[in-house]
Structure 1
C-alpha cells in the first residue's frame, strides 16, 4: 500500500522512493527531518484532530472541513501538493470529502488544495508508477540535483566504492 511519504518522494527522487520502500530509511536523526518533526509537534494546537493515522496515511491535522499539512518551506511545493492531494483522495475513498491547506511556516503563507477528478486520475497513474519503481531489482540512478546535498540519503547515494 502506497503512503503519503512515497507520493512525496516520487516527486523528489525515484531513488529515494525505492530505498525508502525497501526499508532503507535514513531519515531518523537527520537534521532537516528532526526540524520537521519539531514543527509538527508545535503546530495546530487548536485543531480538531492532530497527527491522525489511517491505514497508509498520516495526516498532520484535520480542522473542520480542512486536512492541514505544515511544511517548513515551499522548496518542494509540487511534492507537498501531491502528498496532500493523496490524503484527500484516500479520505474520499473512505467517504470523507475534505479540502486541504498547506502551511509554509518560513514564508508565513498557506495554500488551499482541492482534489479534482483529474487529480484522482493522475494519482491512480502515480500510484501505478510508484509500484513499478518499487518492483525494480536495482535502485534508480542518482539524480545529481542541488537538493541532494541536503538529503538524508546523500552519503548513501554518493559513497564511493572502495578499490578491491
Structure 2
C-alpha cells in the first residue's frame, strides 16, 4: 500500500479534469434492453508508453432494487486489472486493492481516481487520444457486461 505522492496527486487532478471534459459523451454498455445495470462514460487517460498502469473510470447505474458488485474487469488493452479504493486515514491518501466495488440498489456509483476505481495494469499498447477498446465487466448479480472505453487526454 503505497502513499500517493505529489506526482500522483497532480495526475489525479488532471484525470478529474479529463472526466469533466469527457462529460456528456455518454457511452452505454452493450447490455440488452431491460438490463438492470448501465455503464456510461467509460474512459482511460492517454498513455504514450506501453507497460504502464492507468485508471479505468466510469459510471455504473443500477436500476434494480438489489445492490450488486463489480467483481472482475478484463480488457485487451492491459495484462491485468485491480479494483481499488483510496483510504484517507492519518497521513497521505493511499490506494488499496479490494475484492469488489459495491453498486448500490436503485442508485449509481462513479469510479474516480480519489475513490473507487479500476486500475488497468501493464498496458499492452500505447493509448492514443481518440482510441477505443472494449472491456468485459463481471458483476455479482447482473453477470457479464461489455462496455466501450474511450481514450482521452485529461485537460
Larger radius of gyration: 1
- Please identify which structure carries the higher strand content: 2
Bigger relative contact order (CA 8 A; separation at least 6) = 2
- Please identify which structure carries the higher helix content: 1
TM-score (norm 2): 0.30
